[in-house]
Structure 1
């Protein structure tokens, strides 16, 4: 048992920036676009914005899969910074809009799409930072982040909508603080013991299969 605990603690020390980043991004997305699940059936402001976001991702996937181009580390960093900035601005704007004003429906929908798209990119960034880890670590941290996020969303659901959006914006901006520690982890990757071992997922631990597993995590996040 002590070996398991020490292993979990060592992984937590290495990967906490990614865990905290996914928690912040996912919580802010649910707060801003789904009203902390209190308004999950509001049509275009919830599922509608997610459908548009998914459509944009599908188009981007088709383009990149055909061109076989890969984004450099600098480009990825700038996309992350832009995503945080857009998401924070959209969350603040949503908190200031009067939801009862019918003339602002189109504006609110556009802001909801921008927030959903930007925060989804943020989650993909933190998932990307888990490259090179073993399958168990990736699964542990991704779904632990979702578990913790659900608890935070539940607590926020008791607050007024404007207060939720302001806290959501704070969580979005907090991601800036995790970029540095995450970058240090990427520069000094953690050694992976038993590289030739097979996990309970029955995946051999190779870079290609790690990428496939992280892609599976991304699909699982979308389905959840």
Structure 2
């Protein structure tokens, strides 16, 4: 399994800096991927937390209220005291970029603790755009557009080229609502029976699936 593209193509851009993710605005680009490394002490703190202490929840919020809303998702405040300010600031930074990319004044933020085989099927998201990063555990798996039909057809039997977001990499990609032929085919890495826990951040535009707007 490749961490990055074995053969880069026009539809997928691997970026060397966060602002370059805005390449997703180009009609020919389906995904922009920014490989990054978070501070080692933060990565270690995330890995050392008991799974039950990881934040978990979803909020629909204006960017101005995001940090306060995110703070409510940390229920084990003692265990996350050293980590919480950095993680909230990092999510806020990514959310600001996502709102700049999409032009939305509100953002649907899901910070999800995953222990099983969530979203294990290859699929396209029914959204215009989505941002994903995995703070802990294996990253999202995806296939190049040329392999999309085979992955959707074969599912668990698929044996073609498969890519995975590197640890803590940030990816923004178009979904099926972005237009005909759009949508990166991807899946969550299977976890059942492995004793692993992922902490996944997912940023979306507001939709009928969003929770009620968060207020102070």
- The alignment's TM-score, normalised by the length of structure 2, stands at 0.30
Structure with the higher fraction of residues in helix conformation = 1
Structure with the higher fraction of residues in strand conformation = 2
Larger Rg: 1
Larger RCO (alpha carbons 8 Å, 6+ apart): 1
- The alignment's TM-score, normalised by the length of structure 1, stands at 0.29
